[in-house]
Amino acid sequence: MRCPARSSRFGRAPPLALACAALLVAAPVAPAQDSDYWICTYSGVFKVNRTTLKVRFVSNGVGSPYYSQWWNGALIVPDYENDRVWSVQTDGTTTLLASGGAVDNPITAAVSPSNELWLTNIDSDTVMTIDAAGNQTIRMDPSSYPWIDTPSGMSFRPDGTLYLGQYDAGDVWHFDPVTGIATLVTDGDGVMDECAALHADNSGNLFCADFGLGQVVRVRVEDGSCVVVSNDPILQEVTDLRVTKEGTILATSQPNSALVEVQMDGTTTIVLQATALGPMQGISVQKDFPYSTGSIVKYGSGLAGSGGFVPDLRGILSPTIGGVVGLEHRFALGGTFGFTLFGGAAATIPVWGGTLLVDWSQPFGLLPLSFGGSGAGAGESVAFDTLPNDPTLIGATFFLQDLVVDPGAPKKVALSNGIEFTIGS
């Protein structure tokens, strides 16, 4: 479904993010930052004013541009057909950063937390780095990683973890740049066909542009399971995507020449559709990079309920002031209810045959929680809310745990793991 306006809250759960934030003193709203859209098409690079949607031509000297990224104040644009990498300044000045050597059909640029520029070469099955002087280093190739097959999407987390999505294989890998160890995250889970682009949040999720099936897919990193966020027809042959600090997804559709905003509940809004610009290949927003430092991290162990299932509590999106964030509750008894306990400190308190992971001797709160589904382990609930755009919240940390009513638990209360919820910018 397509909607004409944005919504800021989805799901049935109470506004957890706002409840947590209420533990702190409110402050003035942060000033707005520049958030214009930079789009790569076969016709060149264009800047689109976010407010007026006025399109300004920036550069056409970049050949066949694909999935770009900001690096040292410039937009780095891979030129797939001409085996080149371009640097485009905000005033349109375009210079050649690299060509020849290992640069062979480059398609995606990504920047590590240590400010290294990484590139995928989709046809030669290689991943490489390039320094500011244009020097090249191959980091992955089939001789060392036999599974590598049309590497395309690539994204770093703030901790330096690299995720690599593959086009033909439709899988996603985790790669440690320090040790060189690569592990499979997902084979597509029967949901994803071709991972053209991806974006990692800091809460254990990957958002993938599935070119072949025309959909945006969310991958849970810990178990590789996949969920379709949206398969609206406007996303046909979706080429690129970025998760904004506001908590929405910006995606480009090649045949529809469209820039699309996707909400976390799957609704879509056409931001811009302009066939005169040619097929849209890439999208980048300067203010969204570096990515948010907010995070949701699991800790501790829960207590099983009916059927031996342990309730699972996890986050969606990187918590950012003024942005949407979500909580996902899984593996509870279907149709039951409970509470999400939140507070300002972690704990290990023996209770009900398990461990309470939030310190309720300090200020805390309880939010009601209900689960759909039927049967052991089938209970699920997902809800999103918007954090206040309050700079004093940056760095604030909260701790949460689900308490689930379940006759199959030792004391009729099953417990989830805990999560550490840190707000970033």
- Cβ-contact 283, 270 below 8 angstroms: no
What is the arithmetic mean of pLDDT over 376-402? 97
Residue limits of CATH 2.120.10.30 in the chain: 42-288
Across 306-329, average pLDDT: 98
Residue 9 scores a pLDDT above 60: no
Across the range 143-165, mean pLDDT stands at 94
Supply the pLDDT for residue 11.
34
Q: Does domain 42-288 have CATH number 2.120.10.30?
A: yes
Whole-angstrom distance between the N-terminal and C-terminal Cα of the chain? 30
Q: What is the 3-state secondary structure (H, E, C) of the chain?
A: CECCCCCCCECCCCCHHHHHHCCCCCCCCCCCCCCCEEEEECCEEEEECCCCCCEEEEECCCCCECECEEECCEEEEEECCCCEEEEECCCCCEEEEEECCCCCCEEEEEECCCCCEEEEECCCCEEEEECCCCCEEEEECCCCCCCCCCEEEEEECCCCCEEEEECCCCCEEEECCCCCCEEEEECCCCCCCCEEEEEECCCCEEEEEECCCCEEEEEECCCCCEEEEECCHHHCCEEEEEECCCCCEEEEECCCCEEEEECCCCCEEEEEECHHHCCEEEEEEHHHCCCCCCEEEEECCCECCHHHCCCEEEEECCCECCCEEEEEEEEEEECCEEEEEEECCEEEEEECCEEEEECCCCCEEEEEEECCCCEEEEEEEEEEEECCCCHHHCCCEEEEEEEEECCCCCCCEEEEEEEEEECEC
At residue 19, does pLDDT exceed 90? no
Q: What is the CA radius of gyration of the chain?
A: 22
Spatial separation of the C-alpha atoms in residues 298 and 296, rounded to whole Å? 7
Token representation of residue 140: 């992955």
The pLDDT tens digits of the residues spanning 257-301 come to 999 999 999 999 999 999 999 999 999 999 888 889 999 999 999
Q: How high does pLDDT run on average in the chain?
A: 91
pLDDT of residue 64: 82
Number of residues that make up the chain:
425
Tell me what pLDDT residue 34 has.
65
Average of pLDDT values for 22-41?
Answer: 60
pLDDT per residue as tens digits for the range 55-112: 999 998 788 888 899 999 999 999 999 999 999 999 999 999 999 999 999 999 999 9
Looking at the predicted structure, is the pLDDT value of residue 212 above 70? yes
Proportion of the chain above pLDDT 90, given as a percent = 84
pLDDT in tens, 238-262: 999 999 999 999 999 999 999 999 9
**C-alpha to C-alpha distance for 98 and 136, rounded to whole angstroms:** 8
- Asked if 219 contacts 249 with a C-beta cutoff of 8 angstroms, the reply is no
Question: What pLDDT does 134 receive?
Answer: 85
Which pLDDT value is given to residue 289?
A: 83
Distance CA 226, CA 220 (A): 6
Least confident range from 24-28, 40-44, 286-290, 408-412: namely: 24-28
Which of 37-51, 304-318, 330-344, 391-405 shows the lowest mean pLDDT across its residues?
37-51
Chain region(s) in the chain for CATH 2.60.40? 295-422
pLDDT of residue 60: 85
The reply to whether CATH 1.10.1790 applies to domain 295-422 is no
Q: 120 phi and psi, to 5 degrees? A: -105, 135
Q: What is the pTM of this model?
A: 0.91
Q: What average pLDDT score do residues 16-22 get?
A: 48
Mean pLDDT of 142-162: 94
pLDDT confidence tier of residue 16, bands split at 50, 70 and 90: low
What's the pLDDT tens digit per position in 106-131? 999 999 999 999 999 999 999 999 99
- 24 pLDDT more than 80: no
